[in-house]
Structure 1
């Protein structure tokens, strides 16, 4: 498999998971579009590692490999197809690598919602710092928390009750996942801070979380998605 074909396979995997992006993508400058999808594809790799089920050792080994890979990008020694696209950006890759082990700790059931957010705060800050450089948008406001909330929402969708804080499991009424989903939404503004690609991605993810938390199918018609992402793109 050539490097180009391997890269396309990772990009296509993310696009398949996020078909709504084809409506949002025109709001991203054309020169940035492949870079944006490569970056979100990398974050999806980290989400998959966080939300692994069964024996965690292979996922943990993969995460350690990613840490080494990110540290090598400063010297332009990438080995992964996504690295060929991302490493030219002089972003704080080493700081992101340093935060990756937090994903392993974040698999543990948190005591309460506050602990769930704290467990991923350094990771969220590292992701936001990379995005500030990558998309040439100085960080203004709280740019880390929306990343954390989106990561927690994805974890809830993938892991179900295993992702719910213990304090919300105290009432054994079968609605703990719903309560946690609703709490994430309350803390997650409809329009977040950060560069435009993050605002667009967060808008799509929050819409999914609204549907999931209500036990409904996602009704993301092109018109609704267009209006929602246009509003997010305005900043």
Structure 2
């Protein structure tokens, strides 16, 4: 398989997991859509490794591999197909690599929500900073707001581990303000995550229906 075919395979995998993105990306400039796919696919690979599956060991090994890979991107090297789309971009890949231990530790956060958010802060800060640079935002979203959005994604992964999401404090998460500032890409994705959380709160799972996704993406795109 060629590098391009491998890259397309990873992008298709992410789109299959988030089919509502095909509606939501309407509110992105056309020039940003390919980079958005690659960036969100990378985020998906990292969070899936950190939070997916019922056994943490494979994910921890995968995150260790990604830490080496991203450090390599900072030196002009790449092995993963997503590097074909992202590695040459002038981003601080070393900072993202250095933040992955915090993401790994967030699989089983200890204490209350505030403690969980503090634990996620290094990864949230790196993610927000790189996204702002990649998508030409005036400034990154705050680390706290990004960590809130990440915590919502963490809840979505719980059923994969046999943990009922209904056992978490969904009303509290849904009462948080939506992601503001930063990039349109991150805001729209966070809005889709919230949409899925609302469905979970009603006992449903899976993608946000197209019309609801369109409305959520429109609101998030406005900032």
- TM-score normalized by the length of structure 2: 0.89
Give the CA deviation at 1:35.
0.9
Partner secondary structure for residue 149 of structure 1 = helix
Structure 2 alignment gaps of length 5 or more: none
Q: 1:56 to 1:23 in 2, by over 3 A?
A: same
Structure 1 residue 24 corresponds to structure 2 residue 13: no
Q: 1:155 to 1:163 in 2, by over 3 A?
A: farther
Structure 1 alignment gaps of length 5 or more: 165-174
Alpha-carbon distance in 1 for matches of 2:54, 2:127: 27
Structure 1 residue 5 corresponds to structure 2 residue 20: no
Rg larger in 1 or in 2?
A: 1
Q: Deviations over 1:58-77 (max 9, x none)?
A: 32221111111111222321
Contact 1:156 1:163 in 2 (8 A): no
Alpha-carbon distance in 1 for matches of 2:162, 2:150: 11
Give the CA deviation at 1:137.
0.8
Alpha-carbon distance in 2 for matches of 1:219, 1:96: 28
Equivalent residue number for residue 168 of structure 1: none
Give the CA deviation at 1:151.
2.3
Q: 1:183 to 1:84 in 2, by over 3 A?
A: same
Q: 1:23 to 1:158 in 2, by over 3 A?
A: same
Contact 2:20 2:208 in 1 (8 A): yes
What pairs with 1:96-107 in structure 2 (closer than 5 Å)? Answer: 96-107=96-107
- TM-score normalized by the length of structure 1: 0.85
Q: State the aligned residue count.
A: 223
CA RMSD of aligned residues (A): 2.4
Alpha-carbon distance in 1 for matches of 2:36, 2:130: 12
Structure 1 residue 200 corresponds to structure 2 residue 188: yes
